[in-house]
A = this chain, B = another copy of it.
């Protein structure tokens, strides 16, 4: 969960801070094709280029062990990294896993965590090639680095979107966020009355999306199969708004998203209504969906027609010239400016 993340440092925010700090660094190696500023770095090689990405997960910030099974946590920690690899149109190959843990943690608990890591390595065809383990004075810390490969010319950055490109998204959005709301609600109920059993029934999908998400391997494979290279791509970790704004900012464009086109699962809608949350806001600002958001040229759109795939892909809008700004067209037809509210200002 990234809700406590971000805007605390002099109002810079996470992305502003990274930009500020990395401004002092210069790349020295011509093989460094892409450094900071995308889902992963890209390093040139003779055959396949290599992509590298890393994520830090901290107890109390990114996960809550009161309701997160360690096996799921291990699985998810791998997924969030391979998702970044797929977002470069690359395939994950290796990971390193560094863990800091309390000396009081049991061996059985660590084994559970690694079993989740192992299952994700099987699912995504990834080798665990290294890491570091250390005791920690405080909570559990997990830092994973994923390495992948991509054929030169097939890599996809955030900065290649062009006006009139279609904006596509896989799967559905907002479910992971609603899963989190459910877990947090039941945690509060339980804290108030430990005799009450948590009521999570009917929302299995939301819980799975929050606790054990998957990365969109099949989307990248499908794009490859039909010969489409997206003009830009990013994975949705911070919410649709934040991600499309990254693409637009780096591509120097605007965009139009259509509220009615945003894919939202039935369970997401049901729980959102129950909890008095607008499901579209959950989709826009919720995050942790790990779906892929990408843009394709109009010429490529016909390749999608009739092609068979398990990947659910939806066209949700189009790229516009920069001067048109970034807007959501609501169901009633009005234009609302998109903002990367993230969790901090989530209403």
Where the two chains meet, the residues of A that have a C-beta atom closer than 8 Å to any C-beta of B are 2, 4-6, 8-10, 12, 14, 17-18, 20-22, 24-25, 27-29, 31-32, 34-36, 40-41, 43, 45-48, 50, 52-56, 58-62, 93-94, 96, 98-100, 103, 105, 107, 110-111, 114-115, 118, 121, 125-139, 141, 143, 145, 147
A54 closest partner in B (C-beta): B96
Give, as a whole number of angstroms, the nearest-CB distance from A221 to chain B. 17
B94 adjacent to A61 (CB under 8 Å): no
B110 adjacent to A56 (CB under 8 Å): no
B40 adjacent to A111 (CB under 8 Å): no
A133 adjacent to B18 (CB under 8 Å): yes
User: Assuming A12-B107, A35-B129, A105-B9, is B143 touching A56 (CB within 8 A)?
Assistant: yes
A24 closest partner in B (C-beta): B118
CB-CB under 8 A from A47, the residues of chain B are 45-46
CB-CB under 8 A from A53, the residues of chain B are 96, 130
A107 adjacent to B35 (CB under 8 Å): no
CA distance A126 to B25 in the complex (A): 10
A94 adjacent to B29 (CB under 8 Å): yes
B58 adjacent to A100 (CB under 8 Å): yes
Cross-chain contact of A46 among B5, B8, B45, B131 (Cβ < 8 A): B45
Give, as a whole number of angstroms, the nearest-CB distance from A135 to chain B. 6
CB-CB under 8 A from A35, the residues of chain B are 127-130
CA distance A45 to B98 in the complex (A): 25
Give, as a whole number of angstroms, the nearest-CB distance from A302 to chain B. 35
A145 closest partner in B (C-beta): B145
Q: Name 20 A/B residue pairs within 8 A (Cβ), A-sorted.
A: A2-B134, A18-B131, A25-B118, A25-B128, A32-B93, A32-B127, A35-B127, A41-B130, A45-B45, A45-B46, A50-B50, A52-B129, A53-B96, A54-B98, A55-B98, A56-B132, A56-B134, A62-B134, A96-B145, A138-B139
CB-CB under 8 A from A98, the residues of chain B are 54-56, 143
A5 adjacent to B129 (CB under 8 Å): no
A58 adjacent to B128 (CB under 8 Å): no
A36 adjacent to B134 (CB under 8 Å): no
A41 adjacent to B103 (CB under 8 Å): no
CB-CB under 8 A from A40, the residues of chain B are 130
CA distance A254 to B222 in the complex (A): 54
CA distance A140 to B190 in the complex (A): 32
B128 adjacent to A22 (CB under 8 Å): yes
Give, as a whole number of angstroms, the nearest-CB distance from A117 to chain B. 8
User: Assuming A100-B141, A107-B12, A138-B137, is B129 touching A43 (CB within 8 A)?
Assistant: yes
User: Assuming A27-B127, A130-B36, is B61 touching A145 (CB within 8 A)?
Assistant: no
B55 adjacent to A94 (CB under 8 Å): no
CB-CB under 8 A from A133, the residues of chain B are 14, 17-18, 21
Known: A17-B107, A25-B128, A52-B96. 16 other contacts (CB 8 A): A2-B134, A4-B103, A8-B135, A9-B103, A24-B114, A24-B118, A28-B125, A32-B94, A34-B129, A41-B96, A45-B50, A52-B130, A54-B96, A54-B143, A55-B98, A145-B145
